[in-house]
Amino acid sequence: MGAAMTNPAPHDAAHPVEAHPAEAMPIPGPSDPMVAPRKAPARADGKRPLIGLSKAQLREVLAEVGVPEKQLKMRASQVWHWLYHRGVTEISAMANIAKDTRALLDEHFVVGRPEVVTAQVSSDGTRKWLLRFGDGEEAECVFIPDAWRGTLCVSSQVGCTLNCRFCHTGTMKLVRNLTPAEIVGQVMLARDALGEWPNGTASLPALPDTDDDDDDRPYFPGLANAGSNYTPEGRMLTNIVMMGMGEPLYNFDNVSQALQIVMDGDGLGLSKRRITLSTSGVVPMMERCGKEIGVNLAVSLHAVTKDIRDEIVPINKKYGIEQLLQACADYPGANNARRITFEYVMLKDKNDSDEDARELVRLIRKYKLPAKVNLIPFNPWPGSIYECSSDERIRAFSDIIFKAGISAPVRTPRGRDIMAACGQLKSASEKISRAELDRRAAEKELGWVDPA
């Protein structure tokens, strides 16, 4: 077992906190996806998605379109309930909302599920969805069923700016942040596909009369006490990992807002203990992640020397190993019951020696980290330059860590046959090259018509 954690130390001059990590690593060119991933453009029909809004934002947008002040709280609660407890995909299905109000909502909003372009099922039961968003961009999302749980691997960006050399997503040229709606939408889409919304006879918790209409009635008369054996505990989708496409801490605000909805008891109601966020090491955002989101942390370490980590996880040039491990030691909420997971991809003759394993143990001890290590056999993809370490090498590596009292399971690759395994995600949306983007930006500047 890992040693006890040190007391969280305040950041000092040796560990500065940067306000704008997204400004890191500039690369030249008018369309610079490294610095600022593009924002999602508005939908062509001008409608806004209802999912992904916080409760306060929902009240605001309802007020904007003319829902009377007196009704705002009630309407917002009704809409929220239809979205996250009932899983409706159409505003017209929000049965207890007056018809004219539904028509008003329909004029300005959509529920906002992503479109499913393809749905694949692996021979091991893993499912992968290629999703398309309002502007045509695409991202992937993977469901991995196990005996005791079902884990949804959620994307935070289209592509990734960080270019880790063993990761397929990092080779995508186009990058944009996913919106809160698009992140929550993945979870809702998976519930749709797995049939995990209550049906018409589902039992819902009794709803208190917290609206302002003085009628003593709950919001959902007729639904509140309908009998059924539906229970949230019976669901297949039990865990979420932010380990799909993208670096979640480079899209902090949207990921945070989405996860607040996922964790909200009135929202999707998943415990923060069942959610893990994986980062390649965006050190300045780690403390906020622990404080404001409070989910489990996984860190993509992958190497124990500066040379090798610089090569395979280039963000290491900005935030080095020692700085990263100190941020792990300071991570709010980490302790022996909630350990930090270190992900370590096994690359033949690159990072897989006995010496590397011993150095990993030394570092974990040095920072007194409550840690476990996940050894991930490298998943190849077309054009990848690395090979996976042999089974014997992986076992020897795991043994050294395990004998030091640190758990070091080897991850069984899942969904390899449908390219759904770790690091294999790369949607088909990469059709426009960086050069093409730059050319378009230049043309726009000159006042030419954008051919897109």
Give the shortest CB-343-to-ligand SF4 separation in angstroms: 9
Burial (CB count <10 Å: 0-12, 13-18, 19+), residue 246? buried
Q: Which amino acid is at 115?
A: E
154 touches ligand SF4 by CB under 6 A: no
445 counts as catalytic: no
The one of ligand SF4, ligand SAH, none whose footprint includes residue 376, by CB under 5 to 8 A per kind, is ligand SAH
Name the nearest CA neighbour of 301 among 279, 277, 333. Answer: 279
H/E element holding 120?
strand 115-121
Give the shortest CB-146-to-ligand SAH separation in angstroms: 17
Give the shortest CB-280-to-ligand SF4 separation in angstroms: 4
Give the shortest CB-425-to-ligand SF4 separation in angstroms: 8
169 touches ligand SF4 by CB under 6 A: yes
Stretch touching ligand SF4 by CB under 6 A, among 139-147, 167-175, 184-192, 269-277: 167-175
3-state helix, strand, coil in the chain (%, to 5): 35, 15, 50
Q: Which entry of 137, 138, 140, 287 is annotated as an active-site residue?
A: 140
Q: Which is nearer to ligand SAH, 172 or 376 (CB)?
A: 376
Distance CA 351, CA 332 (A): 29
Q: Which entry of 153, 328, 388, 422 is annotated as an active-site residue?
A: 422
Q: How far is CA 130 from the centre of its chain?
A: 15
| Longest pairwise C-alpha distance within the chain | 72
Q: Which is nearer to ligand SAH, 171 or 238 (CB)?
A: 171
Name, in order, each residue with C-beta under 8 angstroms of 314's C-beta and a sequence gap of 6 or more. 25, 162, 163, 164, 165
37 touches ligand SF4 by CB under 6 A: no
Q: Which is nearer to ligand SF4, 140 or 211 (CB)?
A: 140
Give the shortest CB-251-to-ligand SAH separation in angstroms: 10
Site map for ligand SF4, 241-280, x if CB under 6 A? Answer: -----xx--------------------------------x
Q: Which is nearer to ligand SAH, 89 or 305 (CB)?
A: 305
Q: Which is nearer to ligand SAH, 50 or 373 (CB)?
A: 373
Give the shortest CB-143-to-ligand SF4 separation in angstroms: 18
Q: Which is nearer to ligand SAH, 110 or 174 (CB)?
A: 174
211 touches ligand SF4 by CB under 6 A: no
Give the residues lining the site for ligand SAH (CB under 6 A): 160, 164, 166-167, 243, 247, 278-280, 300, 343, 345, 376, 378-379, 422-423
* Alpha helices per DSSP H over 380-426: 391-403
Give the shortest CB-161-to-ligand SAH separation in angstroms: 10
Beta pairing class for 150-153 and 239-242: parallel
| SS3 of 121-183 | ECCCCCEEEEEECCCCCEEEEEEEECCCCEEEECCCEECCCCCCCCCCHHHCCCCEECCHHHH
140 counts as catalytic: yes
Neighbouring C-beta atoms of residue 234, cutoff 10 Å: 8
Stretch touching ligand SF4 by CB under 6 A, among 66-74, 109-117, 164-172, 189-197: 164-172
Stretch touching ligand SF4 by CB under 6 A, among 79-87, 161-169, 189-197, 390-398: 161-169
Neighbouring C-beta atoms of residue 54, cutoff 10 Å: 15
Distance CA 380, CA 387 (A): 7
Token pair 């300045």 is found at 284
Return the residue nearest ligand SAH (CB atom). 423
185 touches ligand SF4 by CB under 6 A: no
Return the residue nearest ligand SF4 (CB atom). 170
Q: At what angle do helices 321-329 and 354-366 cross, to 10 degrees?
A: 50
Residue 355: strand, helix, or coil: helix
Neighbouring C-beta atoms of residue 315, cutoff 10 Å: 25
Give the shortest CB-440-to-ligand SAH separation in angstroms: 27
160 touches ligand SF4 by CB under 6 A: yes
Distance CA 35, CA 22 (A): 6
Q: Which residue from 79, 167, 324, 418 is in contact with ligand SF4, where contact means CB under 6 A?
A: 167
What does the binding site for ligand SF4 look like in residue numbers (CB under 6 A)?
Answer: 160, 162-164, 167, 169-170, 246-247, 280, 300
Active site residues: 140, 422
